[in-house]
Amino acid sequence: MRVFFAALLCAILSAVTFGQVPFERIVNADNEPGNWLTYSRDLLGHRYSPLNEITAENVANLKVKWAFQFPNDRSEVSPLVVDAVMYVTGPHWAAALDAHTGRRLWTWNRPIPQDYHNIGFGQVNRGPAVLDDKLYVTTLDCYLVALDLKSGAELWSTKVGDYKLGYSMTVAPLAIAGKIVVGVSGGEAGIRGFVDAYDAKTGKQAWRFWTIPGPGEPGHETWAGESWKTGGGPTWVTGVYDPELKLVYWGVGNPGPDWNGDARKGDDLYSCSFVALDAETGKLRWHFQFTPHDTHDWDAAHTPVLFDAKMDGRDRKLIASANRNAFYYLLDRETGEFLAGRPYAKQTWANGLDAKGRPIMAPDSEPTEKGALIWPNLNGATVWFSPSYSPQTELFYVAVREIGSVYFKRDSEYKPGTFYGGGGEDELPPDDAWGEIRALEAKTGDTKWNFKLHSPPWAGVLSTAGGLVFSGSDEGNFYALDARTGKPLWDFQTGGAIGANPISFTVDGQQRVAISADRVLYVFGF
Amino acid sequence: MQRKKLTVLALGGVLGSGLLTAAWPGQTPVAKKSARADTVAGKRLFERHCALCHGIDGKGGRGPALNRAKLPHAPDDTALKSVIADGIPPNMPGGWYLSDGDVANLAAFVRSLSKIASDSVPGDAARGAAVYAKSGCSACHIRDGAGVGYGPDLTGIADRRSAEFLLKAIRKPASVLPEDFLFVKVTTASGDTMDGIRANEDTFTIQIKDSGGRYHSLRKEELKELRKLRGESPMPAFEGILSAADIQDLVAYLTSQRGKQ
């Protein structure tokens, strides 16, 4: 108990702002590298830690400092750490942990309604957001909930969507100035997707951006007939924010039904796109569609990566993504202009991209009644778990899934709140599939190095100023690679499949690395 | 789509041959108990509602394979229907919106995925037992508690494999290898070589079972060479060793316990 109180006391004494995370702290996250204040640590989506105590030379000495068992299996959480307190979530559940010991300080939970059904995904939660004195959590039955950061007491909860129609939330919210931005799941249930912003203090809706334009709106013509009403376009992965341009960037998921596009002829905007939204109004500034008229379930459900670089002699504000469709893209984030794109993993569906970044479709690349073998599989060459960008190496690290599958097309019928898919796939057998951590030159997409994994991964990537890249495997390995060469330097068998994003933080000035593996959160240090 | 697959840590061909029995070409699905249930209608429903996780043919994907004789959550048809209707919280959604008839049809289709053709087996089971004993099968297989557990356990094999499959497996094992079966040869840093069946593998290590049934856990970085002999089996092809009649009798023996497990 003495340690417990000492930890609390330490947290209180070490930061006068305990329990207070004004937006400026998040914007200036680099000023306090020992904390992890937002989903990707910074608003730019880098999942990069400026901490450098753990290096290539000493990483082999990493040990488990503590572990925490979740009440749910398969944790996909990306924790936050504020002044030596760690905040974790699960489905309908959140807790504050003493980051020194892993002991629980408070817990919040609420019941999952008996008639809730998850359609097309597992019951998970990918993390909280923090702003000022509140922690923000999303729920499967589609509420955004604000908790008191100090006590876990529920302050307000706002209904975001109707779970009876298939709307759900697993997303970690994004805190921007005065607002909490969230997206929804439900791409296999025929929802009409949206990105929402809520007043951080009151929970009142600030704006909504429908990812499928309604009648009279630009882009509506890209949907046949009434198909837009059930067209999907979920927004289930946390986006990023440029505080200078005051734009929110968010990925939009697949059109519905997933594998049968017959009833939704057209490009199906803004499915499988990045959208840039005015943070004040939610108005669309620009969009870029990676996969027009998708029939493979290739959501653009990725955390975008923002960085600046000189291209063709000109300073550019860039947005990058390794898309589920196996192409790496670079866009101008002020305008959405396509600048470059190329495959980063095996793909058989497109013969490249045209000058505007639109794919040139290969023949026989659509699902069929009999089945068509296509790379990548429906989970994509990478999926929701985060990539990482290191400003130190200027490399974009992505966990790659090298797997194809036989895609089938079937009839589909919309029935509210039920599965609306129109087909499916048969994955190739395990020994015909593998994974890689791939380091891409961020400015070109050229591969700098590869590290091969036994199977296609489900874990995100963390890079650090210590010159390391951390990630996890589906067989439970958590490991560190040399950020410049990909050489494996350390690995630890966690005993559970890893399907989460790693983070790094400090306690008492000492660097820690954390990862969830199935139902256990491990924290490593010296 | 965002659901993560439920990982099956492949226990190689050893256990896998029994647990992950795949449907093989030529197998005829037969629906017996649910005579009134319609497997064709069940297949359509399966493709619409279940294929996302279980694969279009039920061979598994992000959800487990269903083409196996024993489903852990559904020991009987009543349980199977409950699983289909109610799901398995927290990850498997229930088909609460399906009618009883739809659920029955789906259950019939799922059961049909693992039905072993009730083919009549020629041959003399008693003679087959003698062939089994004299041919050294128990040096690599356990049956009814006796033998060495190198190759697949043959106790109750007839409930997992058809006579046609067993015939092929004895004649030419490499022609019908289980989906996740892998024969490997390794050379250690000190130059020692060893072969065996892969029991498990991750990015950094591999676990191998040698012909004596002993397990070896090796770090890959410490190996000079790791050869994955895909499509190969340590079991000899008995078509050149035993007569056709002996092999047929052996199959009769192996299938004589059908339905007793």
Partner-chain contact B2 A475, CB within 8 Å: no
Please give the structure tokens belonging to residue A299: 């959501």
User: Per-residue pLDDT averaged across A467-488, rounded?
Assistant: 98
Going by C-alpha positions, the residue among A435, A429, A451, A417 that lies closest to residue A497 is A435
Please give the structure tokens belonging to residue A367: 């699902």
In this complex, the residue of B89, B96, B204 whose CB is nearest that of residue A477 is B204
Asked if the model's pLDDT at residue B26 lies above 50, the reply is no
Domains and CATH numbers, chain B: 28-112 (1.10.760.10), 183-229 (2.30.30.100)
For residue A22, give every residue at least 6 positions away whose Cβ sits within 8 Å of its Cβ, in sequence order, or none: A131, A132
CATH number, domain with residue A188: 2.140.10.10
Work out the minimum CA distance from A386 to partner chain B, whole angstroms: 13
Asked if the model's pLDDT at residue B31 lies above 50, the reply is no
Going by C-alpha positions, the residue among A217, A276, A267 that lies closest to residue A248 is A276
Q: Which residues of B touch A121 (CB under 8 A)?
A: 1-3
Q: Cα separation of A176 and A131, whole Å? A: 8
Going by C-alpha positions, the residue among B114, B96, B98 that lies closest to residue B45 is B98
Phi, psi of A395 (to 5 degrees): -110, 150
Catalytic residue among A267, A297, A482, A518: A297
Please give the structure tokens belonging to residue A200: 């951080």
pLDDT of residue B258: 67
Q: Which of A410, A420, A487, A493 would you mutate first to test chain B, the one with the most B CBs within 10 A?
A: A410
In this complex, the residue of B10, B97, B203 whose CB is nearest that of residue A477 is B203
In this complex, the residue of B1, B44, B182 whose CB is nearest that of residue A120 is B1
Residue of A nearest to B178 (CA): A429
Partner-chain contact A122 B90, CB within 8 Å: yes
Question: A317: helix, coil or strand?
Answer: strand
pLDDT of residue A434: 96
Work out the minimum CA distance from A309 to partner chain B, whole angstroms: 32
Q: Convert the pLDDT of each residue in B112-142 to its tens digit.
A: 888 776 667 889 999 999 999 999 999 999 9
Give residue ranges of B with CB < 8 Å to any A CB: 1-5, 7, 9-10, 44, 47-49, 51-52, 55-57, 59, 61-62, 87, 89-91, 93-94, 96-97, 179-180, 182, 201-205, 221, 228, 230
Please give the structure tokens belonging to residue A447: 């591969």
- Tell me whether A118 touches chain B (CB under 8 Å): yes
Asked if the model's pLDDT at residue A472 lies above 90, the reply is yes
Three-state helix/strand/coil letters over A468-488: EEEEECCCCEEEEEECCCCCE
pLDDT of residue B178: 82
Tally of CA atoms within 13 A in the half-sphere of A21 that contains its CB: 26
Residue found under tokens 């398995």? B88
Partner-chain contact A121 B49, CB within 8 Å: no
Q: Cα separation of B223 and B179, whole Å? A: 26
Q: Convert the pLDDT of each residue in A365-413 to its tens digit.
A: 999 999 999 999 999 999 999 999 999 999 999 999 999 999 999 988 9
Q: Cα separation of B201 and B139, whole Å? A: 25
Amino acid at A339: L
Region at A209 (left for phi over 0; alpha for psi -120 to 50; beta for the rest): beta
- Return the CA Rg of chain A: 21
Work out the minimum CA distance from B8 to partner chain A, whole angstroms: 9
Q: Convert the pLDDT of each residue in A49-82 to its tens digit.
A: 999 999 999 999 999 999 999 998 899 999 999 9
As a residue count, chain A comes to 526
Q: Convert the pLDDT of each residue in A230-282 to its tens digit.
A: 999 999 999 999 999 999 999 999 999 999 999 999 999 999 999 999 999 99
Residues 363-402 of chain A with CB under 8 A from chain B are: 371, 378-379, 383-384
Q: Which residues of B touch A168 (CB under 8 A)?
A: none
Asked if the model's pLDDT at residue B35 lies above 60, the reply is no
For residue A363, give every residue at least 6 positions away whose Cβ sits within 8 Å of its Cβ, in sequence order, or none: none
Region at A416 (left for phi over 0; alpha for psi -120 to 50; beta for the rest): beta
Partner-chain contact A118 B90, CB within 8 Å: yes
Quick one: what percent of chain B has pLDDT higher than 70?
84
Asked if the model's pLDDT at residue B19 lies above 50, the reply is no
Q: Which of A119, A141, A169, A419 would you mutate first to test chain B, the one with the most B CBs within 10 A?
A: A419
| DSSP per-residue letters across B179-190 | TT--EEEEEETT
For residue A10, give every residue at least 6 positions away whose Cβ sits within 8 Å of its Cβ, in sequence order, or none: A84, A100, A508
To which H or E segment does residue B253 belong?
A: helix B244-254
Asked if the model's pLDDT at residue B27 lies above 50, the reply is no
Quick one: what percent of chain A has pLDDT higher than 90?
91
In this complex, the residue of B44, B56, B91 whose CB is nearest that of residue A122 is B91
Please give the structure tokens belonging to residue B189: 């840093």
Three-state helix/strand/coil letters over A201-229: CCCCEEEEEECCCCCCCCCHHHCCCCHHH
Q: Which residues of A touch B182 (CB under 8 A)?
A: 431
Work out the minimum CA distance from A424 to partner chain B, whole angstroms: 5
Integer CA distances (angstroms), A266 to A250, A293, A295, A298, in order = 22, 6, 12, 16
User: Per-residue pLDDT averaged across B227-235, rounded?
Assistant: 95
pLDDT classification of B65: cutoffs 50, 70, 90: confident
Work out the minimum CA distance from B85 to partner chain A, whole angstroms: 12
As a residue count, chain B comes to 261
* CA B246, chain centre distance (Å): 25
pLDDT of residue A339: 96
pLDDT of residue B7: 32
Q: Cα separation of A15 and A36, whole Å? A: 14
pLDDT classification of B61: cutoffs 50, 70, 90: confident
The DSSP symbol for B115 reads: P
Going by C-alpha positions, the residue among A352, A330, A351 that lies closest to residue A339 is A330
Going by C-alpha positions, the residue among B212, B231, B222, B168 that lies closest to residue B192 is B222
A438 or B155, greater pLDDT = A438
A278 annotated active-site: no
Q: B78: exposed, middle or buried (C-beta count within 10 Å: 0-12, 13-18, 19+)?
A: exposed
Residue of B nearest to A383 (CA): B2
Q: Which residues pair with A135 in a beta bridge?
A: A130, A147
User: Per-residue pLDDT averaged across B180-204, rounded?
Assistant: 95
- Tell me whether A408 touches chain B (CB under 8 Å): yes
In this complex, the residue of A236, A421, A454 whose CB is nearest that of residue B203 is A454
Going by C-alpha positions, the residue among A473, A521, A504 that lies closest to residue A76 is A521
Could you give the number of structural domains in chain A? 1
Tally of CA atoms within 13 A in the half-sphere of A421 that contains its CB: 31
Residue of B nearest to A297 (CA): B1
